[in-house]
Structure 1
């Protein structure tokens, strides 16, 4: 029993001495290489004499802290597979995939479809991973001012659905400003868009282009028959709107279909233009007939000396 205790104490003491020697050697030699520490972490001076590496013997993954052009504490780097994967510069700039980040976090990749991943590892519908933006405010606290929120809508196998929302803060209240549904419909000011773009509010734009087909230039084609004004009058009296136009109730319920409305208005205008042209021709004929009648009346008066 005493022999076993003695042996254990000897092994423990040897390990402690070995560890102390490793640390002392590193300190006393000024980052001189510490070798032959099997399956241990090694601190060594890089071949350039400017860096300190922390790694497992015979490994290609290690932590590097060192100098740049002789200036200490310029960067901290993590290597895997012999390549630098993560860099932290003196100003706190952090790079993933880049050794020269220019922002607090910069991610660089040369591979298509590389992505940043945020994962929520519990199944909760209408919840999901997100990004929160915070800022220091007047009372000295760091407060949430906006963010991006993903939501799980359907988690069943083969039918996974999710949505994405961008939100802001207005007078400390959370405002869901933009919502993108699982089918790609986007809402601004509404969380339940039913169109590719639904806006609950006013829109100001320099120009809006509406694509349309079957534009009513055919009204001016030869052989196009325009309905009579009498029929148009009867239609208006019966329906209280022009042919082809949405009713007031339809617009209140479904909204105004801008492209279709402009097309139908143009069609009605072109048909009315044809009516005006026809009326103008008839007026000219009437004027000619009236002028002829006046001449004939004058001739009769002259002959009869009236």
Structure 2
């Protein structure tokens, strides 16, 4: 009865195979270590030639493979629409078993869509058609997501269980980050461009056009061209240096957008001390060869011009402003000339007083 049952089952196996195929048990007689069941693409029973699907047991290890024994080459094995379940670990491409990891791959892994770790959810993924990879912590309260969109746009996010609001740290314990370069020489090195800010990044950016120059770039149509530094929400600029600071090139305006000189201030300057250099000084007045103008000459000049000699007129100052160094020099010249006039008058008064006393004695 048992022999009849086995014969019936063998017939059923051959009947259920597609026409032109053969089921072969090619195990050698008496071999209790190696077993092989083979399905070939042609009706050639009990042979080990050509391609076939093989299910075997070799030296204590089971295997499933597609193999061409004529060319001794492994063929692709397609598992279409299948769900593979294992109660142990899966090793791919001769990976070394570490004794704990469920899936171990010796080499790279190519993904066509998404890879989820620890049953990760996609979260607030902004790419509808792309590759997505998520790493979660053990409590599933947060993690990191990396996504590549269909237009080759990339996204790296750190997220909590409810929103993409986690902190993203790059090399917190050392190392360098390069953007546009594979060899960063600073903690953050950017090559090939600048840093774009809110608005049109091509119109508002911070970059280095040449070595040694850091430039804040805006175009002529920008609403504000300046670079504001804020302190607690108020636009204030603090510059603390331990060396010399300088501005070279162009005019600097304070309170004005149209400076006409190296430094133009539209307002009041408050200072404890202002030092102005001048070319020469007015001490030439005391030279013995200096020709001191007579008071009559000075009077005639004042009547004709309505201002002192060597002193600019009110109209000239209003139009051109005044040079503090030149003005102090001119005013000192007038003070020194006035001093000489007083000394001369004092000598004349002393002489007149001496003559008066001589007349009184007579």
Q: Normalising by the residue count of structure 2, what TM-score does the alignment of the two structures yield?
A: 0.42
- Name the one with the larger helix percent: 1
User: Relative contact order, CA 8 A, sep 6+: which one is greater?
Assistant: 1
- Name the one with the larger strand percent: 1
Q: Normalising by the residue count of structure 1, what TM-score does the alignment of the two structures yield?
A: 0.48
Instruction: Please tell me whether Structure 1 or Structure 2 has the larger radius of gyration of its CA atoms.
Output: 2
